[in-house]
Amino acid sequence: MHMADALLSPAVGTTLWAGSVAVGGYASRRLRERIDDRAIPLMGVLGAFIFAAQMINFTIPGTGSSGHLGGGMILAIFLGPHAGFLVMASVLTVQALFFADGGLLALGCNIWNLGIYPCYLAYPLLYKPLAGGSRSLGRILAASLASAAAALQLGAFSVVVETLLSGKSELPFGAFALLMQPIHLAIGIVEGLVTAGVIGYVQGARPELLEGMAAARPLGAEVSLKKVVATFAVLAILTGGALSWFASTHPDGLEWSVRKVTAGLGLKEAEEGIAPVLKGIQEWTALLPDYRFKPKGGRPGKAAPWPEREAGTSLAGIIGAAIVLGVILLIGFGIRSCRRRES
Amino acid sequence: MTFDERYFDIGRLDRLSYGQTLVHRLDPRAKVIATFLFLLTVVSYPKYEIVALAPLFLYPVLLMTLGEIPVRFIMRKVLFVSPFAVFIGIFNPLLDPGTFAVLPGVHVSAGWISFASILLKFALTISAALLLIATTSFPGVCHALRRLGFPALFVSQLLFLYRYLFVLAEEAMRIIRARDMRSFGRRGTGMRVFGRVVGILFLRTVDRAERVYYAMLSRGFAGDIPSLRRSRMAPADLMFLLLMAVFLSGLRFFPVTEGIGRMAQEMFG
């Protein structure tokens, strides 16, 4: 469920990058205040642990297919929200750079979807109250299931919203959401079971480890819920406003960049912009029961019908593309053969 | 591609970054900035754009040839990597019924055009990200991020993660081997065993972190990982960034491909 560069528009990509960087800065500031130096290697090595754990696969009962760990919830539970978030962000960065999971521009989205939701929403709002520091396996199981499922639902829903606001995919909101949410509910349940299994094992083998780490991070306790909720409300409104403005001005080549340069018409655009999004949400709620593909018009970020281009222009375009690609290939082969001759 | 293969690819990418070519010698910061400019440019093209994306392939091709990165390796990674974009994009031809005149008399459904555009953008963005690592090395990128203002704590996370990735992967492989030897076929690969196995891995990891911490303390660790390499932005790096900016904005704001095509049409027809 990694978001991909190719589905993103620059506006959505950079907005979520900005959001993730802001949260990352906040997390590291909070950690700096009272972190023990000991935790720095621990966090890094636990990031590597998530990778190693992903190498071990398991069989999902009933389906026969194999799954592996996502890791966001485990990190939040063992390290607390701030450290967990930073470690998850570094795991996703390595995945983006080496495995090209998603891509670098989509990294902002992925950190948002897979890091912020488990660490800053699911953990403080669901896991902590449900588990409540108790040692009973049942409560740990219930808390892990609820929080992992919730975090993945939010993440999957964000992928839908980010893709639609970028306007590169044709999938309508309702169908896309129906495609993503149930799959990620299943993934979330499996993730919750696995998380509970690992936490339960560590609890049984070395209970002091969980308590020790909880004591070493007095963060969870004094993070007030109100603050978290308020921060998220503000962030949601800000990003929603900014995103819908860009979505409404649907990037159309040169015009888009020109319009971006000649700013100042921001306010009017924003008013126009939120309306279609709201309309989209309305339509989504209305459309969900009868599951119809492609509602006629009115999806946020949907372009006007493709204007038929003059045939001559695009013929020139195709010829040009062929020439350009040929020249690039020639340059590539030329440099390579020069190099070979040198060595 | 299984996870093990992807893991071995990390080692391959790491070895490629030890090269000593023109591209490898550029300042990591310059390459990070250039990659981001490139990615932003690629995704800023509207969804039906195909031909204008063609000249952008010059950047990965130049990096690959000048940086002596094996083309096949990068191509294989691009082909097998994260099918999410392709999976979502394939709905476009089904859902976008508009048509688009390519040649006189030849019509293509608009959905296929936008799907092709997604695929091209996919190839461009993924190869740019992989080439950044293959020509810069992961620690290089990390120190560049540090000097570009990313929090020190986050950067040391990344460096630690990378350093211990290989160690813990070996550990995980030993555990997998042990599990496979005690189980037959799929038996023993259930979630119950998995929870315990990963729990053991976790405990070993925590113990290792403890040892690492003491080892680092005795070597003077004070909360930050300094880099010995003091790199400065040389004129060549600034030149590279300038060229990149001119190249990208030139392509973005002028219909270069169509212009070349029209010139060719006039010359030969």
The phi and psi torsions of A223 (rounded to 5 degrees) equal -75, 115
Band (B230; pLDDT cuts 50, 70, 90) = low
State pLDDT tens for residues B199-210: 888 898 888 888
Residues 181-240 of B with CB under 8 A from A: 186, 189-203, 205-206, 208-210, 212-213, 216-217, 221-223
Strand partners, B99: B109
Above 80 in pLDDT, residue A318?
A: no
Domain boundaries A5-245, CATH class: mainly alpha
d(CA A9, CA A2): 16
Q: Is B201 in contact with A197 (CB distance < 8 Å)?
A: no
Mean pLDDT across chain A, nearest whole number? Answer: 72
CA dihedral (B81, B87, B93, B94) in degrees, to 10, reads 170
Given an 8 Å threshold on Cβ–Cβ distance, is A320 in contact with B200? no
Put simply, whether A203 touches B (Cβ < 8 Å) is no
State pLDDT tens for residues A210-265: 765 554 444 444 445 555 556 555 555 554 444 444 444 333 332 333 334 334 33
pLDDT at position A301, please? 40
Given an 8 Å threshold on Cβ–Cβ distance, is B65 in contact with A335? yes
State pLDDT tens for residues B16-69: 888 888 888 888 999 999 999 999 999 888 888 888 888 999 999 999 999 888
Segment B213-222 shows an average pLDDT of 83
d(CA B8, CA B15): 11
State pLDDT tens for residues A139-179: 889 999 999 999 999 998 998 888 888 888 888 888 888 88
Q: Is A232 in contact with A154 (CB distance < 8 Å)?
A: no
Given an 8 Å threshold on Cβ–Cβ distance, is B172 in contact with A55? yes
Helix pair angle (B138-147, B152-182), 10° resolution? 150
Look-up of token digits 């907005």: A15
State pLDDT tens for residues A198-214: 888 888 888 777 765 55
Strand partners, B181: none
Put simply, whether A304 touches B (Cβ < 8 Å) is no
Selecting from A2, A58, A328 the residue whose C-beta is nearest the C-beta of B190 gives: A58
d(CA B193, CA A193): 12
Selecting from A3, A100, A176 the residue whose C-beta is nearest the C-beta of B81 gives: A100
Residues 112-141 of A with CB under 8 A from B: none
The top-scoring range by mean pLDDT among A112-116, B190-194, B219-223 is A112-116
Mean pLDDT across chain B, nearest whole number? Answer: 84
- ipTM (interface predicted TM): 0.82
Band (B232; pLDDT cuts 50, 70, 90) = confident
d(CA B250, CA B255): 9
State pLDDT tens for residues A269-301: 333 444 445 444 444 443 333 333 333 344 444
The top-scoring range by mean pLDDT among A137-141, B189-193, B231-235, B241-245 is B241-245
Secondary structure (H, E, C), chain A? CCCCHHHCCHHHHHHHHHHHHHHHHHHHHHHHHHCCCCHHHHHHHHHHHHHHHHHCCEECCCCCCEECCCCHHHHHHHHCHHHHHHHHHHHHHHHHHHHCCCCCCCHHHHHHHHHHHHHHHHHHHHHHHHHCCCCCHHHHHHHHHHHHHHHHHHHHHHHHHHHHHHCCCCCCHHHHHHHHHHHHHHHHHHHHHHHHHHHHHHHHHCHHHHHHHHHHCCHHHHCCHHHHHHHHHHHHHHHHHHHHHHHHCCCCCHHHHHHHHCCCCHHHHHHHHHHHHHHHHHHHHHHCCCCCCCCCCCCCCCCCCCCCCCHHHHHHHHHHHHHHHHHHHHHHHHHHHHHHHHC
State pLDDT tens for residues B82-127: 667 777 788 887 777 777 766 666 777 788 888 888 888 888 998 9
Selecting from B7, B191, B206 the residue whose C-beta is nearest the C-beta of A58 gives: B191
Side chain identity at residue B124, one-letter code: L
Q: Would you list the domain boundaries of chain A?
A: 5-245, 309-343
Given an 8 Å threshold on Cβ–Cβ distance, is B45 in contact with A253? yes
d(CA A183, CA B53): 34
Distance from CA of B234 to the nearest CA of A (A): 24
Interface test with B, best of A12, A20, A169, A180 (most B CBs within 10 A): A169
pLDDT at position B241, please? 92
Residues 20-79 of B with CB under 8 A from A: 35-36, 39-40, 42-52, 54-55, 57-58, 61-62, 64-66, 68, 71, 77-78
